Amino acid sequence: MTMADDQLRAGFGARLADAVSRRGPLCVGIDPHPSLLHAWDLGESPQALERFALTVVEALADRVALLKPQSAFFEAYGSAGVAVLEKVIAESQQAGALVLLDVKRGDIGSTMAAYAMAYLDERAPLAADAITLSPYLGYGSLAPAIGLAEQNGRGVFVLARTSNPEGIGLQQSVHGSGDAVAQYIVDAAAESNLGKEPMGHVGVVAGATIPPGELDFSDLNGPILAPGLGAQGATVQDLKAVFGRALPHVLPTTSRDVLRHGPEIKSLRDTHSRLATDINQELGL
């Protein structure tokens, strides 16, 4: 059994906790948006995509706990883009970063099982340490991915209360349980994590821009991915107000606020370092 096998068998919650203890909680997205490619004077091509993404990996994968490539920006280039994504995952992991692949998949039955195999099976070319999932065909429909992730020492992050304003009407609507849909998802994730140490493998996505106290994370026992820093308006100071006692499990995430400082590797590293220091100081780490 290899060291990588041992790490996977430790479970995603344990692996993530260890990575955060060594590298801090800041998660950086790898989002090769066309505007960023042009800002880096790269243009739009599979070659430009590869240069952009692997520059970010070279700059940050040896110092962040979690990198989050956005799959859509790679898929836009077809098979060539997916091949770049495979490299991003492999090289990030080789440098010691965990990879959260932002794919937001959600379906039912055998289709959901196939998505799980594509991203969470040990033999899959796109196997990541964790993926994002959409629960809006029912939380129970995610069971194939949640189960395979646990079996293989990987994780999932389920969309609960996202930072985009379009999600408010649906996510704040009342579920059959009597709670808001977003709270129901958090509570369902908590059931999946029950009894796991140091935390479970099912995280949730909850934006740093949501009103303080809107959601109760006290029983979650899992990680919270918190988008919204910087470009979407949330500040480091907002984290305490929004997440309260759940702060030790929060993974603040940003992309553009770091990536716009490329393509120089030193500039990317310096920007990450400043933001990570601000977050660590605010969270008392």
Residue 104 bears catalytic tag: yes
Which residue, 231, 173, 242, 156, is CA-closest to 207? 242
**How far, rounded to the nearest angstrom, does the alpha carbon of residue 192 sit from its chain's CA centroid?**
18
Select which of 68, 87, 104, 240 is catalytic: 104
Other CB atoms closer than 10 Å to residue 153's CB: what's the count? 22
208 touches 229 (CB < 8 A): yes
Please provide the size of the chain in residues: 285
Q: Cis peptide before 211, with omega less than 30 degrees from 0? A: no
151 touches 117 (CB < 8 A): no
Both tokens assigned to 222: 């899992």
Both tokens assigned to 34: 């066309």
Q: Cis peptide before 263, with omega less than 30 degrees from 0? A: yes
CA 253 to CA 250: how far, in whole Å? 9
Supply the residues annotated as catalytic.
104
